[in-house]
Amino acid sequence: MSEQLRARLFEALDQIVLVDPHTHINAHAPASTTLADIMGYHYYTELAHSAGMPIARIEQEGLDPKEKVGRLVEFLGTIENTIQSSWLIEMVQTFFDFPDEAITPDNWEALYDRSRQSMAQPDWAETVLKRSKLSAVFLTNEFDDALEGFDTSVYVPCLRTDDLVFHLAKPEVRTRLEKAGGIALGDLASLRSAIGKLFEHFVERGAKACAISLPPDFAPAKIDKGAAESALTEVLRRGPDASGEQLGTLSQAVFWMLAEHCSEHKLPFDLMIGVNRGVYAEGVFQGRDLYDSRVSLIQYRELFNAFPQVMFPISVLASVTNQELVSYSWIFPNVLTNGHWWYSNTPTYIAHDAAARLEAVPRTKQIGYYSDMYKLEFALPKFAMYKRILAKILAERFVVDRGWSEERAIALGTQVLRGNVDAVFGPF
Amino acid sequence: MSEQLRARLFEALDQIVLVDPHTHINAHAPASTTLADIMGYHYYTELAHSAGMPIARIEQEGLDPKEKVGRLVEFLGTIENTIQSSWLIEMVQTFFDFPDEAITPDNWEALYDRSRQSMAQPDWAETVLKRSKLSAVFLTNEFDDALEGFDTSVYVPCLRTDDLVFHLAKPEVRTRLEKAGGIALGDLASLRSAIGKLFEHFVERGAKACAISLPPDFAPAKIDKGAAESALTEVLRRGPDASGEQLGTLSQAVFWMLAEHCSEHKLPFDLMIGVNRGVYAEGVFQGRDLYDSRVSLIQYRELFNAFPQVMFPISVLASVTNQELVSYSWIFPNVLTNGHWWYSNTPTYIAHDAAARLEAVPRTKQIGYYSDMYKLEFALPKFAMYKRILAKILAERFVVDRGWSEERAIALGTQVLRGNVDAVFGPF
Amino acid sequence: MSEQLRARLFEALDQIVLVDPHTHINAHAPASTTLADIMGYHYYTELAHSAGMPIARIEQEGLDPKEKVGRLVEFLGTIENTIQSSWLIEMVQTFFDFPDEAITPDNWEALYDRSRQSMAQPDWAETVLKRSKLSAVFLTNEFDDALEGFDTSVYVPCLRTDDLVFHLAKPEVRTRLEKAGGIALGDLASLRSAIGKLFEHFVERGAKACAISLPPDFAPAKIDKGAAESALTEVLRRGPDASGEQLGTLSQAVFWMLAEHCSEHKLPFDLMIGVNRGVYAEGVFQGRDLYDSRVSLIQYRELFNAFPQVMFPISVLASVTNQELVSYSWIFPNVLTNGHWWYSNTPTYIAHDAAARLEAVPRTKQIGYYSDMYKLEFALPKFAMYKRILAKILAERFVVDRGWSEERAIALGTQVLRGNVDAVFGPF
């Protein structure tokens, strides 16, 4: 009975056409061309490496894609318990009619060849989008991306700002900003003007959000003009050799400026809170970041109060921060819950965190899920995982525990899966 | 089967006559007079505001109660997923025979009028108490409350001490204390005497607990007499302009003094740990407080060791602190678990936290639940929520997983719901 | 159906012959001789004390074992809800055919006498091992343990190093080290030599791990040679009166040396992270330790990067740290999850933590469980608890949610219960 109820709710949620509000898709190469694009996803390389695969085996210069997949397959057995492995299997079963329950040294080659053929179809990306019921996906664009050569109604630009806030001291970042902003950096006014140009360009090209990932010790603050000006001067003069204090002050000043521009341009500002970069220095590409879960949204108190007109869809890296996110979203009109990020994007944590949100945050303020994918094929299994968990929560906590009708539960699920994406970022 | 088991256990627990060990009831106006008293509860105003309702719409000077309800109803749809909304619906269905599943612009007015009639009955408070199976409720009394004009065996006084510990620097608080304590404040001895008078008055009038809410960075400590004396002198001289250090020292000294008086008067000292006040400065009335979940009971180590004879029923604001509470209650004879407070008073967190307590803290040391209500009508749906969760835990974890008989499980539930309230605070 | 599935999986897991990778067994007296050995376990004494039993009642000089049990039985009713109580009941039902559901003042004496007879059998330890399907158990040996007089293939030595890292300033610890290490301590070289001797002795005697428990504020770091040398000189000269800074520096230096020796001797280094000792000074024996859950594995960043060749099976004291453990084990090849420790060794936390591990950490990198027991009789009920939870997770999250076959789920369970113990520490 309860299993059937879950299944019915899942079926209903699975009909929804989705807009994926956060991905790392390259709009010029959105889908995979070989299985190496899929299995080269950092989730697989880092798990395989964690299970014992030497990095050199997969990050070898000029490694042939097929050879790379063959090497990764050797380690799939050690990670088949992971939910990431289940995404892979569901993906190849769905897109390439893979008939087995595991990819092994015995069956991978046939899969590789068959999938190669599918991916070689000229309309493969469209096929994947359609099969995945995706009408649009957000990108993660460098601030100096030209945003040209793709359909921005399907591949929606999003201004990613980590470099501006944390790496402006690097000569190459400064140069890129001066070029994209059309002005030489000198004082705060020039910086503001350059950043303003980025926003204008992005908004003109259909950007629907500004986004940034933040380390656990970051605390936004409005910086006094004099202090900001002198920090900028120092950083422009000394680059990465500027003092930690000056670098930190400039980070805060730039961050605040971004919030001001979001306000002016009515762009939501996605905050992804809690990551420490490069913790495992010898890790695989994109597999070096971890975190300190001792972070609090109290660090964002000044920001949330200062920008009541800016919407802040917030992702937290650790599940232990989720209750704060629930509470802050319940109190602050401009704070929203946004997806289940990275290390919290596994069923145990999604189930606990999503249930808490669904029962205490206004239904209009929850962006249920985004895929965070690098290649289009991942949306289907990742969203399917989320929809199964969502169906279970709706079945148990709303239909059974609270006596809701199935229709009402499905409407709630539909809103967090799609409706709020439209309302917060859209229309699409 | 399991659903039926849960239902049977709930039915049994639902027969228990309750004493509610923490509320904000006004003994002189315990029940609601209009639906505005109910829907004006900060849970609804803050959620509606979070979902977009401007504060001015509900905090307008001289706003008619019916008009206020009408305005709030506009936003109920956006928060109908919340557990707080389910309390409201269960409440009006129970007390006012509301026939629908949601309060809408179409049906609220009839409900308003019908409920107005019920509430106008002279014995409405008694009716609510009886229907809710409540024999007594604890109050939250200002330290200078006269405690007169009500039946203290039904409305049980509780000495709330936040003002004494955190706001003694304010002239009005000092004046109130000097008046209630019958002595002009000068040195520590006068302060101790004044506070002693409050305890005598409260105990004489049937108070059963002393209580306080505490910010996450508070750490009780025994202050050296000289340091305390000089902090008091300074604070009395300079008021709120005293240094943060002097203010902090005095807070610790007063807190310690309260614990000493609790010891002397054999009063349990309810500690509600973890709230930051006024985080969202522009929030609705009572909807401005949030928290930093980075708090530890290790901050209370000195206190728990110093007062083995004082019972400390403890509430923690964040679920991430609950395991510490479980562990400290398992080790310290004077530490007890107390209810599910505020932002942790939602089913996902209650379920996780209560299960952990039930399986690792002596059964005699758990106060299962309190309503924290401002109006009597709320006890019924809030306790019902808790009893449903408790029944589920007992069914799954005790009857199914551990093979307990239903009788034994019900006895355990009865003890945490009622028995321990009598044992710790009573008799009643 | 789901209940039956759980039961079938449990039955399969319950057939596995186990090696228990962490206990406090005394190899010279591994099993109990009276029920006082069992009920004197700190879980019972501390819970009984927490529920009101004065320490003097059970820590009285020369107290007769039977009298001690009788006194503890008075308090068993108050803690019968605890999972620790369920271990006791399952244990006496299994080993001594106890027919009741609770040990009471009416039935304990017969149990005491009957169990006394069983325990008096000369092969009682072997009987318990066999009945518990245990082929070997790890010990926790003081660094100067002679490791003689027992079968190290059944009672596997493990070098416990808390004293070396945290108490070397104590004259008696220094003396013990000088004796065991065969060298007078003077400079770092002598310290390194002494510790090297310990490792040689332990490895020669079949030790399979080095282990330590660590307070929440400990952060390993490679100490500059000069600083380490001067800290050692100072600590050797002044003992416990050395400055906190010098003591801390020496702790870090010794810890780093241990990791170096683990590397050299290819021993896994068990880290048990998060305990504060002696928080409740007046507690019962072994019932005084608690914790501050504000700890992060980021504190171990330098260590994990510096010793890629050392395996670190890690236990965390608080469930809120478990997600970090999952993530660090998913990224770092040398970080493994290890059991469910102490205050997290209760079903609610095990279920949440184990599920998160099983779905995100390579299956080869999870040591499912250890008993932490002091007497052999405890392995059976403790492992049974874990196996029941494991069976539930495998049933719900793998067989039902992910469509795994039962065989595949059992194989995963078998690997975390036994296979990885062999792979990481073994062979046995």
Instruction: List residues of chain B with CB under 8 Å from any CB of chain A.
Output: 3, 46-47, 49-52, 78-84, 86, 101, 276, 279-283, 287-288, 290-294, 318-320, 343-344, 346-349, 352, 388
pLDDT tens-digit series, residues B212-242: 999 999 999 999 999 999 999 999 999 999 9
Q: What pTM, to 2 d.p., does this model score?
A: 0.98
Looking at residue C144, its pLDDT comes to 98
Q: What is the pLDDT of residue A2?
A: 81
Which chain B residues contact residue C279 at CB under 8 A? 298, 301, 331
User: C245 vs chain A: nearest CA distance in angstroms?
Assistant: 25
Cα angle at C194 between C191 and C198, to 5 degrees?
Answer: 135
- pLDDT-derived band at A233, boundaries 50, 70, 90: very high
Residue among C78, C281, C283 whose CB faces B363 most closely: C78
In this complex, do B331 and C287 lie within 8 Å of one another by their Cβ atoms?
yes
- CA A405 to chain B, closest CA, distance in angstroms equals 10
Distance (Å, rounded) from C-alpha B177 to C-alpha B172? 9
Q: Which residues of C touch B297 (CB under 8 A)?
A: 290
Task: Count Cβ atoms below 10 Å from residue A197 Cβ, excluding itself.
Answer: 16
> What's residue C256's pLDDT?
98
Most C CBs within 10 A among B316, B324, B344, B424, hence the mutation to make, goes to B324
Q: Whole-number mean pLDDT of chain B?
A: 97
Q: Which of C401, C406, C407 to mutate to test the interface with A (most CBs of A within 10 A)?
A: C401
Q: Which residues of B touch A412 (CB under 8 A)?
A: 81
The dihedral formed by the CA atoms of B33, B39, B45 and B46, expressed in degrees to the nearest 10: 120
Residue-wise pLDDT tens digits, B65-79: 999 999 999 999 999
Question: What is the band of A422 on the pLDDT scale with cuts at 50, 70, 90?
Answer: very high
A83: nearest Cα among A423, A350, A361, A427:
A350
Inspect the interface and report whether the beta carbons of C294 and A292 lie closer than 8 Å: no
User: How many CA atoms lie within 13 Å of B425's alpha carbon, on the beta-carbon side?
Assistant: 31
Structure confidence at residue B188 (pLDDT): 97
CB-CB contact of C136 with C428 (8 Å)? yes
Alpha carbon A47 to chain centroid distance? Answer: 19
Q: What is the pLDDT of residue C236?
A: 96
Taking residue A385's Cβ as centre, other Cβ atoms within 10 Å add up to 23
Mean pLDDT of A105-131: 97
Among B46, B51, B344, select the one facing A365 at the smallest CB separation: B51
Q: Is there a contact between B347 and A401 if contact means CB atoms under 8 Å apart?
A: yes
Alpha-helical regions (H) of C239-333:
244-265, 301-306, 322-331
Nearest to C201 by CA among C180, C177, C175: C180
The reply to whether ipTM tops 0.90 is: yes
- Domains delineated in chain A: 29-122 (1.10.2020.10), 127-425 (3.20.20.140)
CB contact under 8 A, C50 and B304: no
CA distance to partner chain B, nearest, from residue C81 (Å): 6
- Say which of A49, A101, A388 has its CB closest to residue C401: A388
Q: Do B50 and A362 touch (CB under 8 A)?
A: yes
CB pair distance less than 8 Å for B294 and A294:
yes
**Is residue B376 scored above 60 in pLDDT?**
yes
Asked if the model's pLDDT at residue A134 lies above 90, the reply is: yes
Strands (E), B128-262: 134-138, 155-156, 158-160, 209-214
Name the residue in chain C with its Cα closest to that of A83. C359
What digits encode the pLDDT tens for the residues C331-372? 999 999 999 999 999 999 999 999 999 999 999 999 999 999
In angstroms, what separates the C-alpha of A74 from chain C's closest C-alpha? Answer: 13
pLDDT digits (tens, 9 = 90+) for A237-276: 999 999 999 999 999 999 999 999 999 999 999 999 999 9
What pLDDT does B2 receive?
A: 81
Share of chain B above pLDDT 70, in %: 100
Q: Which chains have 3+ CB pairs within 8 A of A?
A: B, C
Cβ-defined contact of C364 to A279 (cutoff 8 Å): no
Distance from CA of A53 to the nearest CA of C (A): 9
Give SS3 for C217: coil
Phi and psi at B138, nearest 5°, equal -80, 145
CA separation for the pair B294, A285 (Å, rounded): 32
Q: What count of Cα atoms within 13 Å lies in the side-chain half-sphere of residue A244?
A: 0
Contact of C8 with C406, CB cutoff 8 Å: yes
The residues on C that touch A, with CB distances below 8 Å, are 294, 296-298, 301, 304-305, 308, 320-321, 323-324, 326-333, 352, 355-356, 358-365, 397-398, 400-402, 404, 408, 412
Chain B positions in Cβ-Cβ contact with residue A352 (cut-off 8 Å) = 348, 352
CA angle B319, B321, B322 (to 5 degrees): 65
Specify the pLDDT at position C1.
Answer: 54
Per-residue pLDDT at A399 exceeds 80 = yes
Distance from CA of C35 to the nearest CA of A (A): 40
- The candidate with the shortest Cα–Cα distance to A81, out of B228, B124, C404, is C404
CB within 8 Å: C323 and A349: yes
Q: What is the rounded distance in angstroms from the CA atom of residue C164 to the CA atom of residue C172?
A: 11
Give tens-digit pLDDT for A277-331: 999 999 999 999 999 999 999 999 999 999 999 999 999 999 999 999 999 999 9
**pLDDT class of B205 with cuts at 50, 70, 90:** very high
| A329 interaction partners in chain B (CB closer than 8 Å) | 50
C156 touches C136 (CB < 8 A): yes
Tokens standing for A182? Answer: 């059309």
- Token pair of A355 as six digits: 């249930």
- Give the span between the Cα atoms of B382 and B89, in whole angstroms: 12
pLDDT, position B1: 53
In tens, the pLDDT along B301-338 reads 999 999 999 999 999 999 999 999 999 999 999 999 99
Q: What are phi and psi of A284, to 5 degrees?
A: -70, 165
Q: Which residues are CB-neighbours of C371 under 8 A, at least 6 positions away?
A: C20, C22, C23, C137, C378, C379, C382, C383
Phi, psi of C121, rounded to the nearest 5 degrees: -60, 135
Stretches where chain C sits below pLDDT 70 are 1
Q: How much is the pLDDT for A1?
A: 53
Provide the token pair at B301.
Answer: 């180590």
- Angle among Cα A348, A352, A357 to the nearest 5 degrees reads 145
Of C81, C288, C291, the CB nearest to B359: C81
Q: Do C50 and B330 touch (CB under 8 A)?
A: yes
* Chain A interface with B: residues with Cβ < 8 Å: 294, 296-298, 301, 304-305, 308, 320-321, 323-324, 326-333, 352, 355-356, 358-365, 397-398, 400-402, 404, 408, 412
Chains that contact B by 3+ CB pairs under 8 Å?
A: A, C
Which residues does chain C have within 8 Å of residue A276's beta carbon, measured at their own beta carbons? 298
Give the residue from A247, A246, A240, A152 showing the smallest Cα distance to A201.
A152
Shortest CA distance from A294: residue in chain C:
C294
Selected for mutation to probe chain B from A363, A396, A414, A420 (highest B CB count within 10 Å) is A363
Looking at residue A328, its pLDDT comes to 98
Q: What's at A77, amino acid-wise?
A: G
**Residue among B78, B82, B288 minimizing CB distance to A360:** B82
| Closest B-chain CA to C350 | B356
